[in-house]
Amino acid sequence: MNKNRKLQIWTDGACKGNPGPGGWGAYLVWGEKALELCGGEVETTNNQMELTAVIEALSAIKRPVPMVVSLDSQYVKNGILEWMPQWKKRGWKTAAGKPVKNIELWQKLDQLVSTHDIEWKWVKGHAGEPGNEKADELANRGVPKKA
C-alpha cells in the first residue's frame, strides 16, 4: 500500500431558488475505487447543501485515512478554516454576538472534522476540474423533482 496515498473527495451543493429545492453531491476516489453520493431536500439553501455534502462525505468514511477535500464553496472553506475556531470560543456566536446560521450543520461538521486528517482545497466551480464537475453533477441529481 502506498503510504502517501490520500483519499480524494470533491463536494458540492446546488439549489433551485435560495431557499428552494436543493441537492448535495460528493465524489470520493481512493486509488481505482470511486464512490458517488447524492441527496437533497425539498426546502433548503445553497449553503445548507454545501455543508451537507461535506458532512455526508465524511460520514461515509469508515476508518481514518489522510484525505484531501476539494470544494468550491468559500462559505464552507472559510467557515472551517477561519470562522469556526472563533465561533467555538464565543459559544457558537458570530463576532456580532448573533447565533451562527446553520449551527446544527456546523457542529456536526466540527465533530466529523475532529476525527480525520484533512487537507482542505478550494477549487473554482464550473471551471472544468473533473472531480468538481462530477460533484456538481451529483448535487444536481440530488435536487428533488417537483411532484
Active site residues: 12-13, 50, 72, 126, 136
CA dihedral of 78, 68, 23, 123, whole degrees rounded to 10: 60
Give the neighbor-by-neighbor strand order of the sheet with 118-122. Answer: 33-44, 20-30, 7-15, 67-71, 118-122
Q: CA separation (Å) from 119 to 85, 93, 102?
A: 17, 26, 23
| 69 in Cβ contact with 16 (< 8 Å) | no
